[in-house]
Amino acid sequence: MSALKKERIEVRASTIAKQKIEQAAALAGKTVSSFVFDSALERAEETIRDFQRSRICDEQWDEVMAALENPPEPTPLMLEMIGMSLESEWTVQRKAK
């Protein structure tokens, strides 16, 4: 059982826009109202998802930027994993920057 529809949304459109929407609704086998509602709801959900996925607070942004600007020194295990020692070219290059 679906929830009762209580709210109303109204929009104004140019004649050309209305004709395109009517044509698209007919092609989709929907009423204009259903087509507009479904399209708007889909777009709203997509916008909310995109915003929530990419949004971080200022503090988190600052932490990310600080980590990128000041990366930690490589640990002995990291150096070993890439086949280098502490006195290798990596250390010299890092100090030169």
**Which CA distances in Å does 30 have to 2, 52, 78?**
18, 31, 59
Quote the tokens at residue 93. Answer: 């290059």
pLDDT score, position 65: 92
Residue 92 pLDDT > 60, yes or no? no
CA distance 95 to 85: 15
Domain parsing of the chain, residue ranges: 11-55
Residue 6 pLDDT > 60, yes or no? yes
pLDDT score, position 44: 97
Single pTM value for the model: 0.54
pLDDT in tens, 34-65: 999 999 999 999 999 888 877 777 788 888 89
Query: What confidence category does residue 1 fall into, taking pLDDT thresholds of 50, 70 and 90?
Result: very low
Residues in the chain: 97
pLDDT score, position 45: 97
CA distance 20 to 16: 6
